[in-house]
Structure 1
């Protein structure tokens, strides 16, 4: 089953397979030129996974705002209220299930790992012409490719991957004020080694990478909160410092940016499988 709502640049497409059965799956594919605000969402009958291949998602469950980045999705079990937002020109897949993936049993709401095969298969079933047998086989492999949040590697890890460890932690909380030397102490390496690892992995120093992460996270939130609040949520001590950094990166102020990139909002209409 496939249906389409609206036309690009703002659209929502639905792809359903095996609906009515416990092992069915419904995939909603959202895309907007000006950001996506999926709204506060609660499903009493369905579990939901949100995943984007091309940008971070801001997730709200309870009082805090957390972000999920590359290689991750956001899992919300049935009857858990949550809010998910995405940035401009970003595709978001919302996967609705009646069955809990084995690795996520007992998990209410959290960032989860989305494996490489699952990331490849999700878009493959959210397209015209995908037959039900193929889609349901892919569904089993997608669920097998989901994993509970990974623990931070122990501080005695050696070799490559120091920057990746720090990046994963900061991707969840860009406002984390930990300095490069403090991260290095936690990982039991020198600050120089960690800086070199950031340069090798991301082609830029730690402070530059963190600034870009914070500003990209801010773009997801600007439509839903005042500039001052967003500045603090992504780690800036003042709105003026945030505005200066934002304008330097994007050539426009946060206020002008939100005026130009008006977000698409979707209503939390109940979905049934």
Structure 2
């Protein structure tokens, strides 16, 4: 996996005196930015490909049709799954009030998508009294109104839990029980259960379901059928998968695809 090396604090979008600035960049398969932060809040969006964004508190799988709000000063790393065509926005402090104080996945309407693309076509120092100003005002309104979606998978800090998480991310369909994972992670099932609750506020089964649904969303975004995505993440029943997916994200797997 190759790494993109740049100083995020020196890019023009961090310096320009405008409420928001657009940023366009394409990433190849397996590229990553490395851990970094920005002085301005970001809306990370990709018109193609799946972004995996790590933050100290959670992993976010961000397929097309979704965007991730990253607050200013929040450390994060972006990893590409497939070719990623990123079209991001940077928000000056006064404009960032439309977002959250924590990372959040947003549903991107057809209007917001076109507004982001239009902003990318504007010069960096766009006319505040002209088209650029109108776009910025409408973008702010759409971001504020966008639905917030539970696409985040709580991050794990304990080394034993990290080993379990890395294995499940590779094989989300694994049916191993917590007792069986205990033998592989070097801790008792009781200890692992206690750590899951302490670090994520949820039990192992719920955390695993959250991971599986996030991975399924990535597969659907890459063109997998709902049945194939369900099987790949460990659901033997397509209806059960559909019900769980809709309960978590408010849309059906078919709509997500």
Give the TM-score normalised by structure 1.
0.48
Corresponding position: 1:171 with 2:226: no
What is the CA–CA distance in structure 1 between the aligned matches of 2:28 and 2:114, rounded to whole Å? 23
Q: Alpha-carbon deviation of 1:148?
A: 4.5
Q: Alpha-carbon deviation of 1:127?
A: 2.5
5+ residue gaps, structure 1: 1-13, 153-165, 189-196, 203-208, 214-273
- Residue aligning to 2:33: 38
- Matched residue of 2:49: which SS? coil
- Residue aligning to 1:139: 136
What is the CA–CA distance in structure 2 between the aligned matches of 1:184 and 1:121, rounded to whole Å? 31
Distance 1:18 1:70, change over 3 A: same
- Residue aligning to 2:201: none
Distance 1:120 1:178, change over 3 A: same
Corresponding position: 1:121 with 2:115: yes
Instruction: Kindly tell me the number of residue pairs found equivalent between the two proteins.
Output: 164
CA contact (8 A) 2:105 2:149 kept: no
Distance 1:35 1:144, change over 3 A: farther
What is the CA–CA distance in structure 1 between the aligned matches of 2:245 and 2:22, rounded to whole Å? 40
- Residue aligning to 2:148: 149
Q: Alpha-carbon deviation of 1:53?
A: 0.9
Distance 1:95 1:182, change over 3 A: same
What is the CA–CA distance in structure 1 between the aligned matches of 2:116 and 2:101, rounded to whole Å? 21
What is the CA–CA distance in structure 2 between the aligned matches of 1:185 and 1:126, rounded to whole Å? 37
Q: Alpha-carbon deviation of 1:150?
A: 3.5
CA contact (8 A) 2:28 2:80 kept: no
Q: Alpha-carbon deviation of 1:143?
A: 2.1
Matches within 5 A, 1:11-160: 19-21=16-18, 23=19, 25-43=20-38, 45-62=39-56, 64-98=58-92, 99-100=94-95, 104=99, 106-127=100-121, 131-132=126-127, 133-146=130-143, 147-150=146-149
5+ residue gaps, structure 2: 1-10, 152-211, 220-228, 247-251
Q: How large is the RMSD of aligned CA atoms in angstroms?
A: 4.0
Give the TM-score normalised by structure 2.
0.50
